[in-house]
Structure 1
Amino acid sequence: MRAIIKAGGTVLVSILLSYPFWAPEWGRGILGEIAAWGMPGGLIAVAVFFGLVALYCRALQRTMTLVRPEARTAAPASVWWMFAIPYNFTEDFFIVRAVSTSLAADTRVTSGFNRRWAAIGYGWCVFQILSLFPGVAGYAGGAAALPLWAAHWIMTARVNRTLAVRRPAAPLTHSL
């Protein structure tokens, strides 16, 4: 079922990304917005954005690395699927879920904080997809997605500090 959701979501995202080709009257889409910055502005904007995504992925990977191995529901490196465009738009939901369920299984982060962390994570995922829509809906989606993403990143840094401080106790060994 997960594979069907991921494949279907990727197809729908691809349709949204390609609307300037089949419905140009709706607008230029994200690629048109980037092109509006000209050269080298558009290239710099894309490089900065992907640099920020890489730093965010590194923070999520650190979270998964700090989670006890037996509590992990995904490999720490799996968060880098955020770079697999257009698949990432759907996969981001699964990444948030995997980290959230791992944090819940680890139990070193309060359930309330974990629920808020997951809700904000799912929020930026939803608005990120909405940002692909043409017109005002797309602009509003982007305007909502970016602060939610930043808030989620800040919360991820807090989780990482908490997990780093609350390392599981090492088992006691006795020598006779």
Structure 2
Amino acid sequence: MTRTALLHLAIRVLGTTLVVVLLSAPLWVPGWGPGLIGEIGLVPFPGNLAIIAGFLVLVALYCLTLQRLVRRAGAGSGASVWWMFAIPANFVEDFYIVQRVGAAIAPRIGTAELGWWRWLGFGWCILQLVSLLPGELGRVGGALAILLWLAQWVLTLSITRRLR
């Protein structure tokens, strides 16, 4: 295994460990607040189940959009975008997905547009991590992450249409 591969493995393992620590924080530091999982639990069943299922459907549609973009760019199958469902590793893997898709489309789109696409992508990835923090900071981070994610999704659709 090369040094680069080892570094990326270490980033994935340590990053995912941090995500698990943040997700489980309400269990070992209850004074911090309910956290993401606890906040979903504030909505009574079956509403909380509908929120989770709806979000997962949106993620699946987003993955299909990214996969279509990679295929239209003529850069392979784009199957790796489905790692977004590898919870909790997806919080770290999403950065790699944005990087790989960006590299795949780079030869086919302008530098400025690619810059915006990457900025929006890495922005929602970072804010998604912030959303794991307890309290107001986590809620604001989550809301901003969703806004950047949707903005990048719209840009992805626009780029995909032009690559027909």
TM interval, short-chain normalised: over 0.9
Provide structure 2 residue ranges, at least 5 long, that are not aligned to the other structure: 1-6
User: Match of 1:98?
Assistant: 100
User: Match of 1:67?
Assistant: 73
CA displacement, residues 127-148 of structure 1 (integer Å, 9 cap, x when unaligned):
0000000111101101210110
Q: TM-score, normalised by structure 2?
A: 0.93
Q: Is the 8 A contact 1:128 1:142 kept in 2?
A: yes
Q: TM-score, normalised by structure 1?
A: 0.87
User: Match of 2:163?
Assistant: 163
Q: Pairwise CA RMSD of aligned residues?
A: 1.0
**Amino acid corresponding to residue 87 of structure 2 in structure 1:** I
User: Match of 1:52?
Assistant: 58
Q: 1:85, 1:115 → 2: CA distance?
A: 27
Larger Rg, first or second structure (1 or 2): 1
Provide structure 1 residue ranges, at least 5 long, that are not aligned to the other structure: 165-176
User: Match of 2:137?
Assistant: 137
Deviation at residue 67 of structure 1 after TM alignment = 1.7
Identical-residue share of aligned pairs (%): 46
CA displacement, residues 140-170 of structure 1 (integer Å, 9 cap, x when unaligned):
1012101100000001101111111xxxxxx
User: Match of 2:9?
Assistant: 3
Any runs of at least 4 consecutive aligned residues in structure 1 with deviations exceeding 2 A, and if so which?
none
Q: Is the 8 A contact 1:109 1:162 kept in 2?
A: no
Give the length in aligned residue pairs. Answer: 158
